[in-house]
Amino acid sequence: MELDHSNLLNEFEDFGLTPNLKVLIKCSELLKKYDITADTLVNHWIGFAATKLNNEAPSLENLGAFENDLSKELSAKTKIKSEPLSESPVIHNITTINQLVLGDGLCTEYKVEKSAFQKSTWLTKHRGAFFKVKYSPPPKGWKKLTDIRRDHRNFIEQINVIGDLIKGKLGIEEFESNNVLKSDAFQTIGRICCDATSGSRLNTASLLLEGTRMISSGQSVPLDVSQLKEFSFFPGQVVAVEGSNPTGKKMVVTSVTTPPINPVFKTDVSLEGPLNVMVACGPFTLSDDLEFAPLVEFIQQINTILPHLVIIMGPFLDVKNKKVESGELDHTYQEQFEMVMKELQTKISNHVQVCVIPSWRDVHYRAVYPTPPFQQENKLPNFHFFSDPCVLNVEGVFIALTSTDILFHLSKEEISVAPPGSDRMGRMVSHLFSQQSFYPLNPPAEEMSVDMEHADDYCKLTFTPHLLLVPSDLRFLIKNVNGCVVINSERAVKGISGGTYSRLQITGEGSSVQVKAEVVRI
């Protein structure tokens, strides 16, 4: 594989990094040694630097440790996965409001070699400024969901990755097996599971800790949490627990350690002025019709305000709509969806940049999470289609988002004991940062179909963004959580009435970002 240094430099510059020539040469050697692409290496570096180097810039001194980490992760994936995956997700960069960069993202078709991608670049003009767009169309073909046993192994392997972070937090070298017969206190790690024999839902009687293959031979141990004054657990959560196991059959827990939350990503913010953003999440028509009146009103609001950026998340043709459920449609699902897209593209001012995000609830599309971006052959230059979930980089401001209602799903599955007046919603969001995932719940909600193999690649949230958009059926939320502004704007439609959307004004300079937000009724 031959990549010149300019390719690497461009990838680093997307994150505000400008390595010197010696570092670029060393990175080029790593590309050839491990047969990976420049964007894969840089994405690995961003995660590594955020978790282990406090966001240091790459240097010859720290590249050695980085190579060890990279080698372990690539080796682990090779051992676990019997076929190659597409590379780690690329952050979709709007590196300045003058420049929009669309990365490879999540393809509609998963089973593909990187070399199958053909890249093209073009320029469009917006308000007197040029947006450079790099787009990677997906190849042809479709891959079915992978074997559930292999998906399970992939998820278990993630415990090892998070476990290294917890070991650093605790200052210990190794964890011990969870089922060892031991009366003295010891530390072990695993993921929270539900013992189905003690109830169909997680409760204090059904708590299990499933260990890793290497440490605990993949075995599970029941947890006695009666000595804990406070806790918060949900299925799939990776935690370290301290306690004893005097009988070898149940662990009496005295403390719980969750993974450390990475700080907000440090970057050079270069906003020349306030960045105005509007965000809405579907459905966009009342639950008992397909007239899309709320969508029309939202478009009118866009054209009145003329923000720099609009983020529109699905579902657009909701599987839960009563007319969809009953089959009372005058058009096919695809035709109805294309009518919605035509309404958006013909009615929204071309001075506004629009990001369109799908939902697994879109009845015409892929009922799987993570969800590939919509494929539009005749899209307008100011329209950009991304996957669910995804991350945008707007002039150094990192915006993470998902149209999937993870907050509602977590709220139904979490069990907790917390002090009166504690911040439950803030705790829910912290789970995403702590578990480094847009969707850490496992097993997922019954209505969801999650491809765990690709969730491992495309649902990671390895750093805390400046802004997190998590639309939900739960009550609207604007909150600072661990330095990140978290916004739940609810939905554009609530049953048989109009709902809400959010308006944001983002300012920033240096490494400082400020967000003003409001939730507006439609």
Instruction: Please indicate, yes or no, whether residues 307 and 283 belong to a single structural domain of this protein.
Output: yes
SS3 at position 169: helix
Distance CA 69, CA 44 (A): 9
Q: Does 217 lie in the same domain as 281?
A: no
**Please, are residues 244 and 251 in contact by the beta-carbon 8 Å criterion?**
yes
Residue 188: which of 150, 217, 227, 149 has the closest Cα? 217
Distance from first CA to last CA of the chain, Å, rounded?
52
182 plus 299 within the same structural domain: no
Total domains in the chain come to: 3
pLDDT of residue 35: 87
- β-partners of residue 220 are 210
d(CA 303, CA 278): 11
**Structure confidence at residue 140 (pLDDT):** 29
Using the 3D structure, point to which of 210, 225, 257 is the last residue of a domain: 257
Task: Report the CATH number that the domain containing residue 457 is assigned in CATH.
Answer: 3.60.21.60
pLDDT digit of tens for each residue in the chain (522 aa)? 344 688 888 888 877 788 999 999 999 999 989 988 887 888 788 878 876 787 788 999 999 999 988 888 777 555 434 333 333 445 776 543 444 333 333 332 332 222 222 222 222 323 323 233 333 333 226 333 334 445 555 556 678 789 989 999 999 999 999 988 999 999 999 999 999 876 678 999 999 999 988 898 889 999 999 999 999 999 999 999 999 999 989 999 999 999 999 889 788 888 889 999 999 999 999 999 999 999 999 999 999 999 999 999 999 999 999 999 998 888 999 999 999 999 999 999 999 999 999 999 999 999 999 999 998 888 899 999 999 999 999 989 999 999 999 999 999 999 999 988 889 999 999 999 999 999 999 999 999 999 887 887 789 998 999 999 999 999 999 999 999 999 999 999 998 899 999 999 999 888 889 999 999 999
- Would you state the pLDDT for residue 145? 36
Q: Alpha-carbon distance 486 to 478, whole Å?
A: 6
Task: State the burial class of residue 491 (Cβ atoms within 10 Å of its Cβ: 0-12, 13-18, 19+).
Answer: buried
Whole-model pTM?
0.78
Looking at residue 152, its pLDDT comes to: 54
- Give the integer Cα–Cα distance in Å for 228 and 224: 9
Let me know: does 399 contact 463? Beta carbons within 8 Å. no
Q: Residue type for 236, please?
A: G
Q: Report the pLDDT value the prediction gives residue 155, as an integer from 0 to 100.
A: 56
| Region label for 74, one of left (φ > 0), alpha (ψ between -120 and 50) or beta (otherwise) | alpha
Boundary (domain end) residue, out of 28, 47, 73: 73
Verify that 198 and 332 share a domain, yes or no. Answer: no
DSSP class of residue 160?
Answer: H
Cα torsion angle, 424, 429, 430, 432, sign: positive
Considering the domain architecture, whether residues 227 and 267 belong to the same structural domain is answered as no
Among 436, 366, 391, 341, residue whose Cα is nearest residue 138: 366
Answer yes or no: is 79 within a domain: no
Q: What is the 3-state secondary structure (H, E, C) of 158-193?
A: HHHHHHHHHHHHHCCCCCCCCCCCEEEEEEEEEEEE
Distance separating alpha carbons of residues 294 and 343, to the nearest angstrom: 12
Q: Does one domain contain both 241 and 295?
A: no
Cα distance between residue 405 and residue 325, in whole Å = 20
Question: What pLDDT, on the 0 to 100 scale, is given for residue 116?
Answer: 24
Determine, yes or no, domain membership for 100. Answer: no
Residue 517 Cα to chain centre, angstroms: 21
Which of 391, 310, 318 has its CA nearest to residue 344? 310
Residues 249 and 296 in one domain: no
Rounded distance, CA 307 to CA 275, Å? 8
Q: Is residue 113 domain-resident?
A: no
Classify 449 as helix, strand or coil. coil
Q: Of 73, 104, 119, which closes a domain?
A: 73
Find the angle CA(264)-CA(267)-CA(272) to the nearest 5 degrees: 115
Residues 328, 231, single domain; the answer is no
| Same domain as 286, residue 225 | no
Q: Count the neighbouring beta carbons within 10 Å of the beta carbon of residue 379.
A: 15
Question: Phi/psi at 122 (nearest 5 deg)?
Answer: -150, 170
For 90, the token pair is 């690329």
Domain CATH for 187: 2.40.50.430
Q: Which residues contact 300 (CB under 8 A, 6 or more apart)?
A: none
Residue with token string 């639950």: 287
Tell whether 111 is covered by a domain.
no
User: What residue type is 243 in one-letter code?
Assistant: G
Give the HSE-up count for residue 420: Cα atoms under 13 Å, Cβ half-sphere: 0
Does one domain contain both 229 and 372?
A: no
Same domain as 330, residue 239 = no
Any residues with CB less than 8 A from the CB of 454 and at least 6 apart, and which? 85, 106, 110, 370
Instruction: Report the C-alpha gap between 388 and 372 in whole angstroms.
Output: 7
Distance CA 220, CA 190 (A): 8
CA angle 312, 474, 200 (to 5 degrees): 115
Residues 289, 428: one domain?
yes
Is 324 inside a domain boundary?
A: yes
Q: What distance in Å separates the CA atoms of residue 345 and residue 291, rounded to the nearest whole number?
A: 17
CATH number of the CATH domain containing 10:
1.10.8
Asked if the structure places residue 294 within a domain, the reply is yes
**Does residue 157 lie in a domain region?**
yes
* Residue 167 structural domain: 151-257
Answer whether residue 24 is part of any domain.
yes
